Amino acid sequence: MKFLGISGSSKLDSLNSLLLHNAFELLNKEHQWEVVSVANIPIFEQTDEEPDSVQKLRKKVNESDIVVISTPEHNHSYSASLKNAIDWLSIPLDKNPFRWKVVATMSASTGSLGGPRAQEHLWVVLKSLGAILVPGPEVFLVNADKKFIEGKLTDEVAKKFITELLNNSIILANAIKCGLNQKS
């Protein structure tokens, strides 16, 4: 499977980027993965010209089997930079790369909740775009600034939940591929 991790943070060295890198390192070596940031996406404006950074991100989403989005929580929602990227990708509707795409979400936060409200808002938007959301388990990395040593995730319970989420993503993506192959 080909995984694309999208870090919803505007900081390149964010806890959410770190979480994605650590998550994908838990995968079997047979899987491919890449983590991208939405930090370089210009502010959305409805125009006929799509910026290069948006075209590249759209291509990466289209080419992936599974998208994993990790977002910080800002004011009880997901980040403005992630919303901006999703807004760009959602138009035009016929080019929306999230339709029938398997998407898993997670979040990392320095607080004691871990970002559940951000993920809830993100789920609503992704469902409206036709994404197939992985039903769980939910991954909220609380007190994330204390969960990494030299860039490595130390929370074994979090690793267990992340592994299960990624495995469920693979199961769902395989099921959809089988269904689509039988349909054609």
pTM of the full structure: 0.94
Give 79-82's long-range contacts (Cβ < 8 A, gap of 24+): 79/8, 79/9, 79/10, 79/118, 80/10, 81/8, 81/9, 81/10, 81/38, 81/39, 81/41, 82/6, 82/8, 82/38, 82/122
Q: Taking residues 6-14, report their average pLDDT.
A: 88
pLDDT over threshold 90, residue 54: yes
- The pLDDT assigned to 180 comes to 67
pLDDT per residue as tens digits for the range 77-126: 899 999 999 999 999 989 999 999 999 999 999 888 878 889 999 999 99
Quick: pLDDT tens for 85-94.
Answer: 999 999 998 9
CA proximity to 98, closest of 107, 87, 109: 87
List, for residues 60-79, the tens digit of each pLDDT value.
Answer: 999 999 999 999 988 888 99
pLDDT at site 12: 72
Domain borders along the chain are 2-183
> Topology of domain 2-183, per CATH?
Rossmann fold (3.40.50)
Q: How far apart are CA 114 and CA 104, in angstroms?
A: 16
Q: What is the pLDDT of residues 133-178, one digit of tens each?
A: 999 999 999 999 999 999 999 999 999 999 999 999 999 999 998 8
